[in-house]
Each structure stands twice: as C-alpha cells, then as structure tokens.
C-alpha cells in the first residue's frame, strides 16, 4: 500500500468535524467529506473505538483519520459540525457546537419537528427545546433558501426524504385528499444494531413490516405536508415501513386519493415544474428500482394516474444511507457554504 | 445412493398426473404429490426436457419419474390432472382431461374469472369459454364446498390468495369502503424466466414495482370481493406488486378505509370468527415476516386498527410457490377427494 | 388457527428431551423430533426464554411446547437426551443425563476428540474427561455399528461431516498423500450470534475466510483420517473455512494429492463401493450446488481426477444445520433405537 | 432532472472509444471514462441496443451517450479503443483499431496467452495470431513498463488478476513447489447471461463450483507464473472457481506448498517489498472480505504461514468487475498515456 496521499481539498476550505463517526451514517459522511474538494475533514469523534482509524472500522472507506473523544476544545476553530448521534443524545452536542460558533448539521430527530409537543409525544422530553426555532429542515429541494442561511440544519429522516419528494408537487397544488405510503428499506436502515432484524439468517429471505401504526417518521411527514399545503392543517398520512433483504436502498410507494381528477398530462407538468431543474431528482418513465440510485445522492421517481381507481401513484427511490442520510448532509453543507450543490457528490 | 424406495401412497389412491412439470409450480406440485400418502403420482409431462427425470431438473425434489410428452392416451385412467401451463395454453388441456373423465385443477388464469368479458379484456380470446361455468375458484378457505364437488378447480393466483384471505373478514362484514394493496414478492414469482427481473446482479439489491395500474390480478381480486360482499358490485382495488430480492415469500399489505369506525376488539372478533378453525390460516400478534411461512401451506396474518388515520391495516404472508400456488392445489385435491385437508401438507 | 393437533408418534415411542432448544441447532432438532413418527419429544429446555413456546421463538417450526429450565428431575424417565450446548457447558449435562440412565447425543465438541491432549490444546480443560471413552463419533456412515450400541454419541461438526464423507473412500484406500480443504458455509453456521459476521449489511455481498491456520475442526478431521487409515498417523490437513452470503448450506472442496495415480474409473468404483447403499449420500455427475441438499439430511458429492495436475478433487455439499448438525443427530437416534435410518428424515 | 452537465475532461485529452459497451464490463469502463478527468469518452458502440443511451441500459451510470454501430470510420481520430467483446469476436476489431492507429486495450482472452498452441487448445483457431507478439499482458503491477509502451494491451481475466497478485512475490522468489487456488466469485462474473447460473432463485442460497479441472484461466495463470519464475517451466496450478450468491466480489484462496520452510517474517518482507509502493494493492492483517474492495480498483490481500502444515496461505480479494476487469483497464490506460496511475480511480 502506498503512503497516504494528502487530502485534496482546496486551501482555506471550511473545516468540518464529524461527531459520531462510528455508525453507518457518520462514517459515510466522513468518507464523503474526506473526498470532497471543498471541505477539510478536521476530525472524527466517537463514543467507542477511540484511537482506531476509520479505515480499520470501515476498510472500504480508506479514511486514515483516527477516532477521537469529543472534548469541548475539539470544537474550537471549526466552521461546521456534523452530528451523527441518536436522538436526545444529539441535542447537547449540537448546543455546544453552536456555542463555539460552528454551524451544525444534525442527523438525529432532535430538531426535525417544529412542534415541541409532537416531539415530546414521540421521543420524550426535549433536551434543548430553545434551539428548535433555529433549525432549518434539511430536505434540500424544499428548504434550500432557509438552509443556506441557517446555523442549524436538521437533516431529515430517510423515509420523509423519499416520501416528501414524492408528494411535494401534489401537496403544493393542494391535491392530496388522502394518502397511503408503503415504504420498503434495506437492512442498513437498521444501522449497526446487532439483533434479529439484521441477522442474515433472520432478515434474509424475509419481508418484515414494523412499527405498525406507530412510526416516528409519520409526524415529520405530516408537519412538512402542512408546510407545503397550509390549507390542510389536519392532514394525516398512513405511513408503513417494511424491511426487505438488501443492504442499501429505499422506496416509498405513495397512493394518493386526489381532491379532484388528475390526468397524466397534468401530472407530468406538475412533476416537471417541480424537478426539471433539480440536480438530484430524476423523473423516470417507469418505476425506478432502487439499484438505479445505489450509492448516489439521487432521488428517482415515477408518477402515474390510475384511471381504474382514480388514484395517483408515486414511486420514489433513494439510497437510504446517501440521499436518505449522509450525502444529503453534504448537499446541505454545499448549500450552507456557497459551494456548487453537486460538489463532491456527482 | 440407495436404490429407489417405493412410493408410499395407500393402495387404491386416486391417480393424478401433473401436466407441465418443468416449471417451478408444476415441479413443486409433483414433488408434493410424490410424498403424499393418499395420491399416486401417475405421471409428469412437459413440453421440453422429455425423457429426463424430475430429479435431474430439480435435484432437491428427488422425484425419479421421467418427463413424458402429453399424448391424449396419457390422460386415460386418471382420477385427476393438475395443469401447470401458461394461460391460454392451459384451457385445451383442461378440456381434454375433462373429456377423459378426470377432475382438473388448473394453475393458470384461464378459469379464475367468472366474467368472460373481463378475461378477454386482460388475456385476449378465451380458448374454451363454455367451461367457465364449471369452474370453482380454488381459494380453499372461501370456496371449500364448491371445490369439494367441482370437476374443474381454478387455482387462484398467489397475489389474490394473500390479498383475499386478508380482506375476506372485512368484505363479508361490508366494511370495505376503499382499499390499497401493496404486495411484495420474491423472485420465484417470476418463474423460470431468464431475464432482467431474475438475474441476481439486477434483481439483487433492488426493490422493483411493476405493472403499475395494470396488474392482471386486480380483476380477480375484485370479482371475489363482489362475491364476498354483493352489496358493492363496483368495488375497485388499488393493487400494486413489487419484486424484492428473496426467493420464496410474498406479503400483501392491505390499507382499508372502513365504511365505519372499527376498533381492535371488533377486528379481533371478525378475524377470529373467520379463521380460528382454519388449519392453514394463522393469526399473529405482530406483522408476520414471510420467513414464518416459508415452504409451508400457511397464510399468516395480522390485522390492526390505526386510531390516527382510522384505517384498518392487514398484513398477510404466504409462500408464493406453496399456499400461493402448488400446495394450495394439493389442499384442494384433498378436499376434492375426501382426504383430510392437511394430508401431505403439515 | 386450528386447535393443536396431537403429536403423531407411536404409542410407547422412546422419550427424548432436547436440552438447549433456543439456538439454531437445538430448535431444529426439536422440530424434527416433534414431527418424527417414532419418538416422543418429551421436553425442551433452555437457559433463556423459559416459559415461551418454541413456536414463539421460531414461528416456522410450529412446536407448541414451552421452554423449561433444565432441572435434575427433568431428566427422569427419559430414553434419550439431545444436548445442544456450547462446548465445556455441554459435558456436565451429558454426565447428568447418563447418570439418570438416558442415552445421550451431544452436539458440542466435548466428546468428538479421542485425545484428551488434543481437546485441551484447542478448548482448555475438559470438564468430564472420564466420559471420553464412552463416546462414539456420530458420523453415521463411518461409525454406524458403534453408534447403535453407544450410550453417548458425539455428533460431529458440520465441516468434519462434509469433509470426512468426501475423503473417507480415499483415506480407507490409503490414497491421501496431501490434502487441502477449502470449505464455504452460509451465515447460519455462526448461529444466533449477533455481530459483524452475521449482520446482513456486513455479511451480505462478502466472502470472508476466518480462523486462518487455526480452525478447531482440523484436529477432529485429522483424528478421523487416522482412524480411516491408521498407516498414516501423522496426516495433516490444510483446512480453511469461509463465510459466504447465504443462510443454510455448506460445501467442502477437497484437493487431494494422491499417493499414486488414480483414474476416473477407479475413483468411480471407490466412491460407488462406499456410498451406493447409503440412504443419505448421493453421488452426482457434476459438482453439486448446496441448494440441492437444502433442508435435507443428504450429503451430495462429486469426485474427479485432474489429469493436468494429477490431483483428485472431491466436492461435498450438505446443509450445515441438517446433515451437518441436527438431522444427523436424528439419523443417529434412529440407529441407536433400532428405527429405520430414514424415519422422520426422508 | 437538470440539463446534462458538460464532460469534465481536460482540453486535449486522449480520445477513447469503448467497443462493446452493452455488457457489464464495457458499460462500467464507459462510465469510468465518462468521469475521468484525463480522457474524452469519444463514443460507445454495441452490436445491440443501437440508438439507446447507456443511461437507459444502466440507469446507475448516468452516461447520456448513445450506443452506435461500430463502423470502420468510427475508429478514425481515436487515441485508444477499449474492446469489450467475447473472445474470437474481439481480435478482428482489435486489428482494425490498430490499423487505424489507435492503441488498444482488449478485455477478451484473445491476446492474453503468449503461446498460440495453448490458445488454440482452449479457444479454437486464433483469428489474428500475428498480433500476439504485440500484446503486453495488462496486469499493471507485473508489467507496468511493457504496458506503458505497448500498442496492444491484453487485459487479464479477473481470476488471474487476483491469483497472480497473490502468488507473484512467492513465484519471483522461486518458492512455489505446488499450489491449489480455490477462487470464489459473485454472479456478475457470469455477465449478462440469462440462465440457471444467474437466476436469483437458482443462484441464490447456493454455492456452485464449475468447470472442474478445465478452467480456461488456468493456462493464463501458468504462463505468467513461468514468466515470474522461469526456473519452473512446467509449473501446474490446481485452479478451481465457484459461484457464490453475491453481485460483485472475488476472492482467490491460494494454498502453496513452498520449496522450503518460510516463516511469518520472511513472508511479510516478501509481500512488503512487492507491494508497499503499489497504489492499488493493500496488505491486510487478516483475511480481507470482498466488501473491503467493493466498487474499487484495490486488490487487498493477506498472507500467512501455517506452522501445522508448512504451507503458505494467501487470500486475495478484488471486485471482479473493477480491478478484475474494467477499472484495471483504466489503470492501464493511465499508464499508457502518461497520466497519474490513480487518476479517475481513487
């Protein structure tokens, strides 16, 4: 193996630390930053594995930096911190980083919901509720402007990302009377958890719905739908997730009962208007398999009107670890620091 | 390898031929018959592979009979014929077998629909429409009595099997106002087809919806829902299927908007009344993974009321090749010939 | 779901308890016994999950018995105990069962090795060395007579099963000068362990050799090779195992440098003589994929002479959980209690 | 989707055409060239799918160029042609491109063997034997200098790549007395073939050795071993390949009987001397899973001495489509055109 090559970021690039780099999401974010021409990966921290290189933990990523403990002074001199901790554990670190003057992207659920009451119903007491009002919701295509100016960006969950991109054109047009979302995801969505849901001899050759009628991503989706269509403040979403035996990949199948009849042409115009200029949303001519977006920041979707039932169907595919989590964080970082939105991602 | 053991069926057992034993469905049916204590597997035929043993084609099945061509006189002296041909190709063989006095189970779509018009809209001209009125629909739990006396049983498709068992208690109670069915299936559902949908490097690590707004199983499901609830002759079903990367397994997720509010207790009573005495339907306390029914004739399901949306959710898992196809054919044969319904299947 | 059906064993059948029924091996053994016509499954015990039914733990198995703690009096009145504990933990239970008058099949490594010194080099101090001399090595095809009369049978490891069946005809003929065994196994071989080796997002899309130059199954294989060919007391085997991303299945590829040239015809005669009358060994005409023996007690193999290198190649496939573990235990029980060797297994 | 971005190669970059871009190998090579900063992808041709974009065939690759027919004048004005045709079909196109003044990398077997006699024994008559002497063998790490100056580079097979990199340090030191290579590969190694070897319901849950004692890669490996150690002109290799159920990944397990005892330290020195300065060979401290090199040009290996048997074990992992085929072709292009060897590949 050749000696380490130098990082290839430009002189004077913003310095970014990844807090929580041992899990799937933080590790991938660190690797993407390591290869990014416009950011310096200033450090990686973890609550375990301290002293080991990321390369030792994830040989594929070939990042030679060592995991450090997160000490307050590791937050000095940074331009941004990407926090990849579980919910509730994230908020205190977010607060600390903000105090030190860094801008923050938080991958947890802690700042995704506007409503404190909703948060506490699903997650328990909020550690730092006073920061909620600072947060921009980090679904880039829907909140680009707010993200550009925000000190704190709450990166969305992977299910809301796929679902909201699929539904946004219909919601904005006030067309959603009722909606069922059946989402399927690969096993990486369960993270590094070692249990029945991830064991190959149990998760393999299986299709497993989970969290029936009680998925934490439902309120996140509903809040954003109200943002997109404030005329329907009581919208409810029937959201259901299933694990299927693959590694990375996620698809939301959305079954919309429209408020009025919508034909193929109108549908094409709505989606074209929303996404023709988006660098990371692709409109396909048939339902996109998740392989088509594997290891990429793309969301690929297909919308159709069913003349038999009158419903509108939208199929939206992403890589749950990329556009669903870590590469969308990089997309947001690009937006926050004035870099080309596709930098390091194309 | 030891010399072949004798078949172990009882003296005087009904003699059954499998026509079309080279595909996944016919081959499994032949193997189940070979091990069945109450039937004699009288022969297996195929349009290819003539002269080879089934064991050579499917080493796992260890059936030493040889594939023969289907000649008219191979249909003499039979009690039953199980026809595993593609639609349209099946009907002439079904007719021939009936003429020779055999009872028939047809695995194709040719006799599943009551309505000739509906058949011809989806499949083209029907080769033998005069036989339609003879056919019992072979979803055992719904049509047991008709199957017992029928000369011709149209074995249902795998998607209708999982879907209708899930919906029947609600339909009979007149509770279905609207329904979305999102069904997932393993790759064996595509049969021996060698193409992009079955190649491991394309089907693996993929989630692929197909036949959007145009699945042939939709009218089959709708016809049976009208049978279950004649008060709703215009019921439509939003049915969507996806391929996921496993071999055998299928799950229907049914999202029902009920005609009135239904609580957990009423739901439990409806499903208990429908299935507590059924040998092959299991009511689970959480959504059943498809592994739980792998290589079995069981349908395992879970129903829940979502108080947030008011919808009823039913998840129904089967093995698409077993209860979805071949073992349900055996269950029907048991019913037709007065054998214990679980014989050869438990 | 219908009321539980009665067990279907014959009146007066030997009563067998499975100690350690929560792991993959014990659970499968319990399920096979539950369906066996000639044994009564008298109980199942576990060190965890006490009070739950096996069906709750393994829904596929549909065994309604409850896990009990193993108390000394649970060993009274039994004809046999099948012990499925980890090595060292097994020996005390084996001893207890023998004292109570039961015959024992032990699935652990505790009694597989004749040589106490070898055991202690690989596993540490032996808890009950005085029982070693009682044990028959439970590779049925090689030790059928000893098994029939033994009070204690040490069920072999899955790797030695596949390897020794492949090599026995050559070893008995004194033909092995040198041998490399490259064995591949599915993830179920790692059992219920929840870690990096079993997580679908780590084990999937991976080929992973492990325990290089230090596999505990090596001395077990070597001891048996000396038993088969006492003229080579110092035989060494280069044994290497790899995990590949499937659930159940194992294949040993054996590369033998023979002591003299061996042609195809002699090879066919050697293997035919060894296995033509064996009910569970199949000689194939090409290398057998592991799918061909999935969920069965068969070992399927293919032997070839390579005229280019002069080596002999033998490929031997088993299901690691069946012939490699639990169904071979049933095969041995059949032999021990005078039942047809294929009872409950064909 | 945003308008196509411009290609990002530097002004004046060499112009490269990919002939045969519809198969797995050619398509990946085209995509790697499309993203390469130092080459212009001048065109892609195919014998089918003419007029479709590569993106339509392989949505993941997002290459908007259209497949063209290969006409003689499509070879004008090119600096290089990468030929991805089956053996025998490749040679005429190679000849044509050379005549037009382009340098050629051929992915087929047509120019890999020095010996015409060996070629014809395995592949039949050679279409253009007079070109054999022009060809450099494109295993970059072994033939870098010859590749730099060659007009024709024969890209090695994936099995020889993994195997020869593993064995080269031992071969050069004259240490190989005997060698067994057991290689495992994912299903993409079978290419776009639609048959029993690639159908997920047949290839899944399977381990399948193939081409026993008759693999075409054996003479390729042996020829190169003689090149590395001319003192052993009659070396034979026991090479065996198996398909395992994953998509991309390949591992060669090499079992070497050395000509004399070799210890761990000497082994480490031999491999360090060979590879410490190689940008794409990584020496690992334990056997490398193939996931560690997925979608990369790396070969990752581990060598160990087994004191029990005296043998040397080397495990070598590559991605069969990348270092085993297409990215190695890019590595060679970099060498041929004086670009940094890692350009477009790191």
The interface predicted TM-score (ipTM) is: 0.96
Residue A244 has pLDDT above 60, yes or no: yes
Residues of A in contact with D59 (CB under 8 A): 284, 288, 291-292, 300
Half-sphere exposure of C277 (CA within 13 A, CB side): 3
Query: Mean pLDDT, to the nearest integer, of D88-114?
Result: 96
Half-sphere exposure of C20 (CA within 13 A, CB side): 23
The one-character DSSP state at D13 is: P
Q: Taking each helix axis from N to C terminus, what angle separates C217-228 and C116-123, rounded to the nearest 10 degrees? A: 160
* Interface contact B60-C296, CB threshold 8 A: yes
The one-character DSSP state at A199 is: B
Angstroms from C33 CA to nearest CA on chain B: 14
Q: Which residues of B touch D (CB under 8 A)?
A: 24, 186-188, 192, 194-195, 198-201, 203-205, 245-248
Cβ atoms B228, B171 nearer than 8 A: yes
Q: Whose CA is closest to D80, among D179, D14, D177?
A: D14
Backbone angles phi, psi at B201, to 5 degrees: -80, -5
What tokens appear for A312 in the block?
A: 């509108």
CA distances from residue C290 to B126, B270, B291, C184, D194 in whole angstroms, order as listed: 43, 44, 20, 10, 21
Q: Which residues of A touch C (CB under 8 A)?
A: 24, 186-188, 192, 194-195, 198-201, 203-205, 245-248
pLDDT tens by residue, C148-165? 999 999 999 999 999 999
Can you give the pLDDT at residue B130? 96
Can you give the pLDDT at residue B94? 97
Minimum Cα–Cα distance from A60: chain D residue: D292
Residues of C in contact with D181 (CB under 8 A): none
* Contacts of B73 by beta carbon, 8 Å cutoff, 6+ apart: none
Backbone angles phi, psi at B99, to 5 degrees: -60, -35
Cβ atoms C320, C326 nearer than 8 A: no
Can you give the pLDDT at residue B7? 54
| D116: enclosing H helix or E strand | helix D116-123
Can you give the pLDDT at residue C346? 81
Q: Cα separation of B22 and B53, whole Å?
A: 10
Cβ atoms D109, D127 nearer than 8 A: no
Angstroms from C262 CA to nearest CA on chain A: 41
* Contacts of C218 by beta carbon, 8 Å cutoff, 6+ apart: C237, C239, D308
Question: CA dihedral in degrees (B157, A206, A293, A338; nearest 10)?
Answer: 140
* Interface contact D199-B205, CB threshold 8 A: no
Can you give the pLDDT at residue C345? 96
Q: Cα separation of A206 and D206, whole Å?
A: 17
Q: Whose CA is closest to B1, among C275, C342, C297?
A: C275
Residue D106 has pLDDT above 50, yes or no: yes
Can you give the pLDDT at residue A3? 38
CA distances from residue C340 to B228, C37, C47 in whole angstroms, order as listed: 49, 11, 33
Angstroms from D250 CA to nearest CA on chain A: 15
Tokens 């047509």, residue? D110
Residue A5 has pLDDT above 60, yes or no: no
Q: Cα separation of D305 and D275, whole Å?
A: 18
Query: Mean pLDDT, to the nearest integer, of A176-184?
Result: 98
Can you give the pLDDT at residue B174? 98
CA distances from residue B70 to A239, B21, B100, B321, B326 in whole angstroms, order as listed: 50, 11, 13, 24, 20
* Interface contact D317-C240, CB threshold 8 A: no
CA distances from residue A210 to A190, A213, B34, B243 in whole angstroms, order as listed: 11, 9, 39, 19
Dihedral class, residue B12 (left if φ above 0, else alpha if ψ from -120 to 50, else beta): left
Tokens 């197909």, residue? B210
Q: Whose CA is closest to D282, among D296, D299, D303?
A: D299
What tokens appear for A70 in the block?
A: 């997160």
Instruction: Read off the pTM.
Output: 0.96
The length of chain B, given as a count of residues: 346
First-to-last C-alpha distance (Å) of chain A: 27
Q: Cα separation of B197 and B182, whole Å?
A: 19
Can you give the pLDDT at residue A4? 47
* Interface contact D186-C180, CB threshold 8 A: no
Q: Cα separation of B51 and B61, whole Å?
A: 17
Minimum Cα–Cα distance from A286: chain D residue: D56
Strands annotated E in B186-265: 208-210, 238-243, 250-258
- Which residue, among A53, A60, A272, A319, would best test binding to D if mutated, counting the most D CBs under 10 Å from its CB? A60
Q: Cα separation of D28 and D326, whole Å?
A: 6
What is chain C's alpha carbon radius of gyration, rounded to the nearest angstrom? 20
Cβ atoms C255, C180 nearer than 8 A: yes
The one-character DSSP state at D287 is: P
Q: Whose CA is closest to C187, among C257, C259, C248?
A: C248
pLDDT, block means (10 residues), chain B with 346 residues: 56 96 97 96 95 95 95 90 95 96 97 95 94 97 98 97 98 98 97 93 96 90 98 97 98 98 97 98 97 98 97 98 98 98 94
Can you give the pLDDT at residue A8? 73
Cβ atoms B175, B259 nearer than 8 A: yes
pLDDT band at D7 (very low <50, low <70, confident <90, very high): low
Angstroms from A225 CA to nearest CA on chain B: 15
The one-character DSSP state at C322 is: I
Can you give the pLDDT at residue A7? 54
Q: Cα separation of C193 and B98, whole Å?
A: 55
Minimum Cα–Cα distance from B4: chain C residue: C279
Q: Cα separation of D263 and D148, whole Å?
A: 36
Between A238 and D71, the more confident residue is A238
Write down the catalytic residue from B57, B158, B164, B305.
B158
Half-sphere exposure of C185 (CA within 13 A, CB side): 26
Instruction: Name chain B's partners: 3 or more CB pairs within 8 A.
Output: A, C, D
Instruction: Name chain A's partners: 3 or more CB pairs within 8 A.
Output: B, C, D
Q: Whose CA is closest to D315, among C316, C185, C182?
A: C182
Residue A215 has pLDDT above 90, yes or no: no
First-to-last C-alpha distance (Å) of chain D: 27
The one-character DSSP state at B37 is: T
The one-character DSSP state at C286 is: S
Write down the catalytic residue from D57, D91, D97, D158.
D158
Q: Cα separation of C57 and B144, whole Å?
A: 32
Q: Cα separation of A32 and A216, whole Å?
A: 28
B254 classed as catalytic: no
Tokens 């050795």, residue? D209
What string of H, E and C letters represents the secondary structure of B62-105? CCCCEEECCCHHHHCCCCEEEECCCCCCHHHHHHHHHHCCCEEE
Task: Nearest by CB to D247, from B186, B188, B204: name it.
Answer: B204
Q: Cα separation of C19 and C33, whole Å?
A: 13
Residues of C in contact with A199 (CB under 8 A): 187, 192, 194, 198-200
| A304: enclosing H helix or E strand | strand A299-305
Cβ atoms C159, C183 nearer than 8 A: yes
Q: Cα separation of C120 and C88, whole Å?
A: 11
Residues of A in contact with C247 (CB under 8 A): 200-201, 204-205
Distance of CA A212 to the CA centre of its chain: 22
Per-residue pLDDT in tens (0 to 9) along chain C, 346 residues: 443 444 578 889 999 999 999 999 999 999 999 999 999 999 999 999 999 999 999 999 999 999 999 988 889 999 999 999 999 899 999 999 999 999 999 999 999 999 999 999 999 999 999 999 999 999 999 999 999 999 999 999 999 999 999 999 999 999 999 999 999 999 999 998 999 999 999 999 999 999 998 888 999 999 999 999 999 999 999 999 999 999 999 999 999 999 999 999 999 999 999 999 999 999 999 999 999 999 999 999 999 999 999 999 999 999 999 999 999 999 999 999 999 999 999 8
The average confidence (pLDDT) of chain D is: 95
Question: CA dihedral in degrees (D297, D298, D299, D305; nearest 10)?
Answer: 180
- % of chain D at pLDDT higher than 90: 93
Strands C152-154, A15-19: pairing is unpaired
> Worst-scoring range by mean pLDDT, A5-19, A40-54, A96-110, A205-219?
A5-19
Cβ atoms B116, B132 nearer than 8 A: yes
Can you give the pLDDT at residue C7? 55
pLDDT tens by residue, C20-41? 999 999 999 999 999 999 999 9
Tokens 């290459």, residue? D63
DSSP C43-109: EEE-SSSTTSBHHHH-GGG---PBEE---GGGGTT-SEEEE---TTTHHHHHHHHHHTT-EEEE-SS
Tokens 């997109």, residue? A228
Backbone angles phi, psi at B109, to 5 degrees: -85, 0
Residues of D in contact with A205 (CB under 8 A): 205
Q: Cα separation of B113 and C279, whole Å?
A: 46
């Amino acid at each position: 193996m050749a000696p380490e090559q130098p990082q290839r970021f430009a002189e004077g690039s913003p310095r970014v630390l990844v807090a929580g780099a041992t899990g799937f999401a933080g590790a991938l974010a660190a690797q993407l930053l390591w290869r990014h021409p416009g950011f310096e990966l200033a450090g990686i921290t973890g609550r375990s594995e301290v002293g080991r290189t990321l390369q030792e933990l994830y040989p594929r990523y070939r990042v030679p930096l060592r995991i450090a403990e997160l000490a307050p002074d590791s937050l000095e001199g940074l331009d941004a911190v990407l926090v990849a901790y579980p919910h509730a554990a994230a908020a205190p670190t977010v607060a600390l980083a903000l105090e030190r003057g860094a801008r923050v992207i938080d991958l947890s659920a802690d700042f995704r919901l506007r409503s404190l009451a909703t948060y506490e119903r699903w997650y328990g007491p909020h550690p730092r509720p006073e920061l909620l009002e600072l947060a921009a919701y980090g679904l880039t295509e829907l909140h680009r402007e707010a993200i550009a100016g925000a000190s704190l960006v709450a990166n969305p969950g992977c299910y809301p990302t796929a679902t909201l991109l699929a539904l946004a054109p219909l919601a904005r047009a006030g067309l959603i009377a009722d909606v069922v979302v059946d989402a399927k995801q690969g096993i990486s969505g369960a993270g590094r958890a070692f249990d029945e849901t991830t064991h190959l001899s149990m998760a393999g050759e299986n299709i497993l719905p989970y969290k029936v009628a009680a998925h934490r991503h439902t309120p996140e989706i509903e809040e954003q739908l109200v943002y997109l269509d404030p005329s329907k403040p009581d919208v409810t979403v029937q959201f259901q997730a299933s694990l299927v035996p693959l590694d990375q990949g996620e698809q939301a199948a959305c079954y919309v009962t429209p408020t009025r009849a919508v034909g193929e042409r109108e549908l094409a115009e709505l989606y074209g208007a929303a996404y023709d200029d988006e660098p990371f949303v692709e409109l396909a001519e048939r339902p996109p398999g998740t392989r088509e977006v594997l290891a990429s920041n793309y969301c690929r979707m297909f919308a159709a009107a069913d003349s038999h039932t009158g419903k509108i169907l939208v199929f939206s595919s992403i890589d749950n670890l990329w556009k669903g989590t870590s590469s969308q964080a990089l997309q947001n970082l690009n937006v926050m620091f004035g870099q080309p939105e596709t930098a390091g991602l194309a």
